Each structure stands twice: as structure tokens, then as C-alpha cells.
Chains A and B, each alone.
Chain A
Amino acid sequence: MAWTKEEEIRLRKVIKDSGVNLLKENLVQGTWGNTAVRLDEDHMLVTPTGLDYVALQPEDMPVVQISDTSVWSDGKKPTSERKIHAAIMADRPEINATIHSHPVWCSVLASARIELPVMSDEMKKLVGGPARVGAYGLPGTKTLKEGTVAAMKGRNACFMANHGVFCAGRDMDEAFEIIRVMERSCREYIKQCTLKITGQLEYSDELLFDYFVSKYGK
């Protein structure tokens, strides 16, 4: 164990707060989504599987071995997506915090499986370039893990097809900045696409709804 008890207590609180903050900022629904923080080069704390973020306590967060995620201790059963968090941490030594979630606007692009171009200097700085889409795979599968790792190469965020978004930062504050900029950028991109396809100059949800009904209405 290459970390102190004090550091572990602090990071347990970081993980607990990250789950609550995802809910507060409307970046997740229910018990979906999970986060992780690095303890040392081969250990991380992650959120447990399928439990209410508000009710969870810092001591419920399990310690998971990065090199073999079947090995875990000191908490409740870890999220089934721990393999993705571990793969990113193993591949990227500078990454100390990761978030996987399903916020609304990121989910739209994940569902359309569309790469998000760079929408702002802030996105360029935080994400590192256009956000790619990882290959589709069922939750917890090797396909999903490998697709996410490939899409994250040289980036701090990517979409997971029909699933959500994955973000990685040097700490949890930075990971949150990244997920926020991804959500804002997706929203802006959808607005721009709506204006382009309708030929209008001013966006409104009604404009989008009318286009949708004209295309899909029965």
C-alpha cells in the first residue's frame, strides 16, 4: 500500500462527493454512471455497483487493483465498469480521476454515434481535440472497454456508443470541468445542426420539434 490513511480518507470523500455532484448538476440519472480516483499506480477507489449516490458513505467505496480488477477490498461490490476506469489509468499515468456518465446532450451524440468537432478553445484545451465515439459494446464487456480506451487516445473525453460519455482528468475537479465542457459543446453542436438543416437563423426547441414532427410524424 503506497498511500497514507489520511489520503485515502480524503479520496473516499472525493468519490462520495463526485456521485452526489453528478446528480446535483444533472449529469446522471439514478444509479447509472460511476467514478474513480487513483490511490497509487496499481490501486484506485471506485463507486459501488447499482446503489444510490446520496445514501452511499465514503467507507462504501471499494479499493480495486488496476492490474487485476477482480481483486478488490474494503467496501461494497465495485461497479462493473471498473475495467474501463482501470484500463484508462493503466494506459495514462497522468490520469488520476475518471468519470463515466450519461448526461443528456452527450447521450444524444453517443446515440447518433457522431464525433464532436472542437467547439471552443476551452474544449480544445480540456478535451484535446474532437471527441471520438468508442465502439458499441454491452456494459462490462471487453468490446466496450477496448473501444473506450481506443477512442480516448490523445483525448480526455470520448463518447461510448448508445451509452454515454467517459472523461479523465488529473484530478476530480478537472474531470468535472471536462464533462461540463462536453455537455455544453454537445448542446451547441445540436443547435448549429438544427439551424443548418432548417435554414433558420435563430434556434428554439420548437424549431427542432417542428422539424422532427415533419420528418417522423404519422
Chain B
Amino acid sequence: MIDEKIKQTVLSYAAKIVAEGMNGKGDCIAMRTKDGFCVNEAGAALDGLKAENLIELPLDTDDKDYVVIARLFAKRSEVHAVLYTHAPFVCAVARAKATIPAVLDDMTQIVGLNCKTCRSATTDDLVKGLKKRNSVLVPGGGALTVGRTMDEAYTCALVLDKASHAYVCGSVLGGSKVINCIEAKLMNVIYQKKYSKANQQNISKREGE
């Protein structure tokens, strides 16, 4: 039985993703539960998602639709939410199979030093693509994003969308200027270990984890 607070968190963030226009075909929204994870059932769109469309699965599920999500929850204990979304500018980068470099400082903090389009949509490539990152692009698809809370995963998806705008629009503005690797890494560490810590703990309680 899925905790009511978790269900409400999932439904409210599904609505936020739709309101931001980041939804598309094959979207997924998942949140860790005591016994596994809560997720929208295959084929249930985020637009108009209802409590009866949510299911709970164990972390060792072999259901092919959810095995990537299960692997992420199992492999990264800090991850409590996983999203697969289709913001149009993000999809344009995934279509180009490009890597978004460190174009904005908030991107380096929450997403990572860059965001790659992984080689293929296989479970191994996706999980590998998320190593030391909170987002990875699926070639010809959307973005897979994780967070310590649902709020962090959602914010990460928003910031990735903004970085995609910067990178895509940069192509008509003479190119984006990239933040150097050491400074990007420093900002990432400060955000993950210090800046966001108290807020994520407060949000975690609010979301019912």
C-alpha cells in the first residue's frame, strides 16, 4: 500500500511538469517508498495522472518498463525520485546526440559538470550516463533525471531545460561560453554538500519520505 503523502507528492509534481510543458510520450515519475518505489503505470500520461494510475514495485523488479528506475534506486541510495521528461529544447539536444557543457552555474550545481546524451537507451548506458550526474539524455528521446527529493529532481529538470535553451539558442548567438571545469566542480560540491542540504532535508519531510 502506497503512503498517501507520497501519492500526493507524485501527483502534484506530475501536474507541475505538465504545467511547465516538459511532458511528452513515455514520461515517467517515480518516488522511493519503504518497500520499493511508486511509479505511474506504463502508458499512463502525466497529463491528468490519477492515484489509481500509480503502482508500487520492488527494487528487484524485472519488469522491462521499470528496470532502469529500479537500478537507479538500488545503486544510488541518496536518490529518492526519478523523472523521465520531454521538454522540447532538451529533446532537440537529445535529437542532436549532443552534450550540454557547463553553460550556466546553476546547471553545474544541480545537474553536474555537463549533461551527455548517452550512447544508447539500454539500462547499462543510462545508469552509467548518470554517474556523478543528476541528468542524462536519451538519444532521440528525453531526459532522465534524479534527485534526493522529488522537488530536487523537478528543479533539476527545470534547470536542465534552461541549460538546453542556453545551448540551443547559443547556436544562433555565436555559441555559449563554457565555465571552466575546476570552477564547475567547485560549485557542484558546494551545492550538493552545503548550500542545498538543509533545504533538501526540510523538503524530504514535507514529501513524506
Residues of A within 8 A of B (CB): 26, 29-32, 49-52, 55, 102, 104-105, 107-114, 136, 138-139, 161-164, 190, 193-194, 196-198, 205, 208-209, 211-213, 215-218
**Number of inter-chain CB pairs below 8 Å:** 126
Q: In the complex, which residue of chain B has the Cβ closest to the Cβ of A133? A: B177
**Across-interface contacts of A198 in B (CB, < 8 A):** 172
B202 CB–A CB distance under 8 Å: yes
Name B77-115 residues within 8 Å CB distance of A.
Answer: 88-89, 92-93, 95-98, 102-106, 110
A112 with B175, Cβ < 8 A, contacts A29-B106, A31-B196, A102-B106 known: yes
Q: Are the C-beta atoms of A197 and B172 separated by less than 8 Å?
A: yes
A50 with B172, Cβ < 8 A, contacts A30-B158, A107-B165, A138-B186 known: no
A218 with B175, Cβ < 8 A, contacts A111-B103, A111-B166 known: no
A-B residue pairs in contact (CB < 8 Å), sample of 12? A30-B159, A102-B104, A105-B165, A108-B169, A110-B166, A111-B103, A161-B177, A162-B103, A163-B104, A194-B169, A194-B172, A205-B89
Q: How far is the CA of A9 from the CA of B166 in the complex (A)?
A: 39
Q: In the complex, which residue of chain A has the Cβ closest to the Cβ of B109? A: A32
Q: In the complex, which residue of chain A has the Cβ closest to the Cβ of B203? A: A52
B48 CB–A CB distance under 8 Å: no
Interface size on B, residues (CB 8 A): 45
Q: In the complex, which residue of chain A has the Cβ closest to the Cβ of B178? A: A162
Q: How many Å from the CB of A195 to the closest CB on chain B?
A: 9
B173 CB–A CB distance under 8 Å: yes
Name B136-169 residues within 8 Å CB distance of A.
Answer: 151-152, 155, 158-159, 161-162, 165-169
**Across-interface contacts of B151 in A (CB, < 8 A):** 30
